[in-house]
């Protein structure tokens, strides 16, 4: 299919972060965009304000008659009436990953993969490239705070930046010039079955790198690679014997300062505003790809030092009058561990309350032990019910099951609706909201309770 000849495209699940970036890209190219999503959100409201037509009821009759292509997300349930109608109609259909693959084939792509960190790294990489001499068009897996968008658009640039998602093996649709792999921890076992199969998929992803391209992996990541001839491989780390690494690192007022060793030079004076050692590592990963892609010393330095982060990634929402509130997308045990441990290191001796919404029954079942260990690093935990997303309940897999394993005396389960009032009674010292479901709907409610200057 010739993407450039499309006039009307229908997105099934248009409110998804990856789907909406593609919808924005096509809309900016003059394509008429229509779509369905289950839930009205701030993001779908923005899409509508930009001129896209969206509805929120399962109504096959609202699919435009002149639709030339339907794009869908695997999160869409198979019994959705619109999805069944589309399958019967014979309309051309693409998964989100297929459309992203078709679009990015037309230029050199810098793709960031990994079970953790890929959204922050790809967004920071974009922030280095976008204002620089190379520029880029970027499809992001989160809302970049510097731009308040998940799409950065520069049609004149020869570069695409894309988040390479391992879910449903989506990243195998990408054929990057430069690929970064941040991590390959066990996840999505409902798709892969076991950790070895997941790691093999990452190896398959490396086989897609263009000849004479570049692969950058975190030191010690533990995956085999299967690159084409001429592909040059590099490693990065905070302090290991890697090609890209931090030097002379110090911590001052919660901010890490360091110099960056590259294969060809040392870049001095890096000080990412985002706290936490894991964001130092993310900065090195993004700088590695940018350096290999031809960004200058000054572009890398400026990009890292002016990066404001991604909404819902270690996102400081309130820090006043002795109360700190951080919102984070962490939904895997290792992500939770990194987030909570970073808060402990940055704010030693303070009491940390975490509100966590487990995401998916299968993930909760497969990593129950890891979740309980990570959440036990808190001083107080409040669990919400499991967010099912695309899944049906699994017998015995509940938040109560998870709560029973957490080694804390101060723990409870609470509904989303009751959490703001509960938190107001508890008056936490440091508050973390954690999870990938709809826990983000709590953020403005908490802000209104704890920051009276914010209006509903």
Based on the fold, state whether residues 236 and 381 are members of the same structural domain: no
Q: Is the pLDDT of residue 212 over 50?
A: yes
Length of the chain: 456
Which has the closest alpha carbon to 228: 205, 203, 214, 210? 210
Res 452: pLDDT:
57
Quick check: is 172 in a domain?
Answer: yes
| Percentage of the chain exceeding pLDDT 70 | 98
Based on the fold, state whether residues 189 and 293 are members of the same structural domain: yes
Helix, strand, coil percentages for the chain (3-state, nearest 5): 35, 25, 40
SS3 label, residue 440: helix
For residue range 48-78, list pLDDT tens digits in order: 999 999 999 999 999 999 999 999 998 888 8
Count each helix (H run) and each strand (E run) in the chain, helices first: 15, 21
Which has the closest alpha carbon to 122: 105, 106, 104? 104
Residue 251 maps to which CATH number? 3.40.1190.10
- The CA distance from 38 to 57, in Å, is 7
Based on the fold, state whether residues 324 and 391 are members of the same structural domain: yes
Nearest 10 degrees: Cα torsion 308, 153, 22, 212? -90
| Both tokens assigned to 238 | 């905070």
Q: What pairs with residue 412 in β-bridges?
A: 382
Nearest 10 degrees: Cα torsion 181, 183, 186, 192? -10
Please report the DSSP string for 187-242 in residue order.
--HHHHSSHHHHHHHHHHHHHTSPTT-EEEEETT------PPTT-EEEEEESSSS-
Quick check: is 279 in a domain?
Answer: yes
Based on the fold, state whether residues 149 and 91 are members of the same structural domain: no
Residue 41 maps to which CATH number? 3.40.50.720
Based on the fold, state whether residues 438 and 406 are members of the same structural domain: yes
| Both tokens assigned to 102 | 């078709």
Residue with tokens 């060793």: 261
For residue range 119-169, list pLDDT tens digits in order: 999 999 999 999 999 999 999 999 999 999 999 999 999 999 999 988 778
Based on the fold, state whether residues 121 and 246 are members of the same structural domain: yes
Res 455: pLDDT:
44
Which has the closest alpha carbon to 84: 66, 53, 55, 63? 63
Strands 149-152 and 178-181: unpaired
Out of 305, 327, 345, pick the residue that ends a domain. Answer: 305
Quick check: is 102 in a domain?
Answer: no
- The CA distance from 197 to 186, in Å, is 9
- The CA distance from 422 to 383, in Å, is 12
Quick check: is 272 in a domain?
Answer: yes
Mean confidence (pLDDT) of the chain: 93
What is the widest separation between alpha-carbon atoms in the chain? 62
CB 186 within 8 A of CB 195: yes
Based on the fold, state whether residues 90 and 113 are members of the same structural domain: no
Out of 95, 121, 146, pick the residue that ends a domain. Answer: 95
For residue range 1-55, list pLDDT tens digits in order: 677 789 999 999 999 999 999 999 999 999 999 999 998 988 999 999 999 999 9
Based on the fold, state whether residues 170 and 225 are members of the same structural domain: yes
For residue range 312-361, list pLDDT tens digits in order: 888 889 988 889 999 999 998 988 998 999 899 889 999 999 999 999 99
Based on the fold, state whether residues 374 and 408 are members of the same structural domain: yes
Based on the fold, state whether residues 376 and 301 are members of the same structural domain: no
Based on the fold, state whether residues 272 and 170 are members of the same structural domain: yes
Domain residues for 18?
Answer: 3-95
Q: Is the pLDDT of residue 456 over 60?
A: no
Quick check: is 271 in a domain?
Answer: yes
For residue range 160-200, list pLDDT tens digits in order: 999 998 877 889 999 999 999 998 876 766 677 788 888 88
The number of distinct structural domains making up the chain is 3
Nearest 10 degrees: Cα torsion 21, 23, 24, 25? 90
Based on the fold, state whether residues 281 and 339 are members of the same structural domain: no
Quick check: is 100 in a domain?
Answer: no
Residue with tokens 């404001």: 308
Quick check: is 299 in a domain?
Answer: yes
Quick check: is 455 in a domain?
Answer: no
Residue 444 maps to which CATH number? 3.90.190.20
Which has the closest alpha carbon to 325: 343, 307, 341, 337? 343
Out of 305, 330, 354, pick the residue that ends a domain. Answer: 305
């Amino acid at each position: 299919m010739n993407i450039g000849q499309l006039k009307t495209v229908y997105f099934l699940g248009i409110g998804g972060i990856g789907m909406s970036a593609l919808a924005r890209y096509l809309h900016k190219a003059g394509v008429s965009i229509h779509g369905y999503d289950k839930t009205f959100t701030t993001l779908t409201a923005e899409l509508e304000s930009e001129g896209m037509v969206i509805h929120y009821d399962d109504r096959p009759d609202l699919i435009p008659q002149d639709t030339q292509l339907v794009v869908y997300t695997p999160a869409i349930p198979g019994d959705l009436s619109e999805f069944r109608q589309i399958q019967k109609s014979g309309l051309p259909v693409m998964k989100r990953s297929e459309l992203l693959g078709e679009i990015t084939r037309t230029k050199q792509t810098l793709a960031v993969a990994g079970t953790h960190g890929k959204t922050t790294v790809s967004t920071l990489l974009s922030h280095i490239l976008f204002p620089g001499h190379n520029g880029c068009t970027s499809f992001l897996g989160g809302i970049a705070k510097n731009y308040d968008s998940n799409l950065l658009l520069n049609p004149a640039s020869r570069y695409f930046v894309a988040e390479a998602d391992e879910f449903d093996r989506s990243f195998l649709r990408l054929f990057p010039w430069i690929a970064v792999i941040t991590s390959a921890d066990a996840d999505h076992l409902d798709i892969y079955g076991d950790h070895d199969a997941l790691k093999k998929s990452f190896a398959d992803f490396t086989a897609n790198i263009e000849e004479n391209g570049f692969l950058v992996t975190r030191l010690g990541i533990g995956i085999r690679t299967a690159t084409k001839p001429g592909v040059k491989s590099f490693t990065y780390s905070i302090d290991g014997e890697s090609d890209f690494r931090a030097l002379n690192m110090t911590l001052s007022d919660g901010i890490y300062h360091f110099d960056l060793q590259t294969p060809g030079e040392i870049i001095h004076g890096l000080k990412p505003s985002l706290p936490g050692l894991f964001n130092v590592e993310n900065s090195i990963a993004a700088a590695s790809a940018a350096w290999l892609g031809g960004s200058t010393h000054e572009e890398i330095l400026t990009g890292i030092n002016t990066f404001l982060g991604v909404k819902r990634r270690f996102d400081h929402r309130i820090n006043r009058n002795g109360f700190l509130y951080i919102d984070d997308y962490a939904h895997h045990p290792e992500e939770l561990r990194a987030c909570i441990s970073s808060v402990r290191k940055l704010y030693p001796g303070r009491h940390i309350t975490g509100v966590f919404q487990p995401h998916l029954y299968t993930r909760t079942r497969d990593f129950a032990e890891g979740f309980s260990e990570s959440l036990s690093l808190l001083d107080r935990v409040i669990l919400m019910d499991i967010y099912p997303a695309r899944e049906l309940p699994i017998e015995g897999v509940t938040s109560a099951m998870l709560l029973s394993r957490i080694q804390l005396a101060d723990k409870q389960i609470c509904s989303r609706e009751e959490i703001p009032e509960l938190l107001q009674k508890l008056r936490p010292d440091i508050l973390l909201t954690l999870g990938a479901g709809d826990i983000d709907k709590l953020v403005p409610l908490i802000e209104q309770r704890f920051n009276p200057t914010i209006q509903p």
